[in-house]
Structure 1
Amino acid sequence: MATARWNGEIIAESDETVIVEGNHYFPVESVSSEYLKPSETTTVCGWKGTANYYTLNVEGQENPDAVWYYADPKAEAAEIKGRVAFWKGVEVTD
């Protein structure tokens, strides 16, 4: 089972992650949504599409744009639709 942790809390757990470019993409329903705060940040990947972000807010500490997802990924990346991935110090173990 893959687990995402930050600031001492488990943010997500799933045995159904999809690994793309070395990143575990967790089903959105496996994420503790109380830790997610919408962000205005977007970036563009040539083959996946436009990424949107969340800021983690755990125990009063924020980790800006530490969670990303593709709301409408390109066809080549369809397997990550409805999933989120982590970075910026979020520890992901499997």
Structure 2
Amino acid sequence: MKAKLEDRVIATADTKDLVMIEGNWYFPPSSVNWSLLESSPTVYTCPWKGQAEYYSLVGGPKDVAWAYVAPHADAVERVGKDFAKFVAFDRAVAISE
């Protein structure tokens, strides 16, 4: 699977390595091209997953990705896999095979 915005491939991983949570594919951190992302000051706390960190694409747009660095233990149990630091993408980022 690929996460792509315009001509920039932000992440690439085998489907078996991804995690689907609430309709979003979460890519393992090792599959992300971190040189394309920068930390964002945006913070969000999900009631059941915990605090998310956001990332913007270098040069824009802002807040196109997020990750739960330390998800709640209950969330990991609910999902069935530790998704700490896995990265999900905004709907503006195309996810395809």
Q: Give 5+ residue unaligned stretches, structure 1.
A: none
The number of residues matched between the two structures is 90
Structure 1 residues 5-20: aligned runs within 5 Å: 5-15=4-14, 16-20=17-21
Runs of 4+ in 1 over 3 A off after TM superposition: none
Q: Where is the strand percentage greater, Structure 1 or Structure 2?
A: 1
| % same residue | 38
TM-score by length of 1: 0.89
Q: In the alignment, is the contact (CA less than 8 A) between 1:63 and 1:88 conserved in 2?
A: no
Equivalent residue, structure 1, for 2:66: 68
- Is residue 92 of structure 1 aligned with residue 95 of structure 2? yes
TM-score, length of structure 2 as denominator length? 0.86
How many Å separate the matches in 1 of 2:22 and 2:91? 16
Q: For the residues of structure 2 that align with 1:84 and 1:54, how far apart are their CA atoms?
A: 9
Q: What residue in structure 2 maps to residue 52 of structure 1?
A: 53
Q: Which runs of 5+ in 2 are unaligned?
A: 77-81
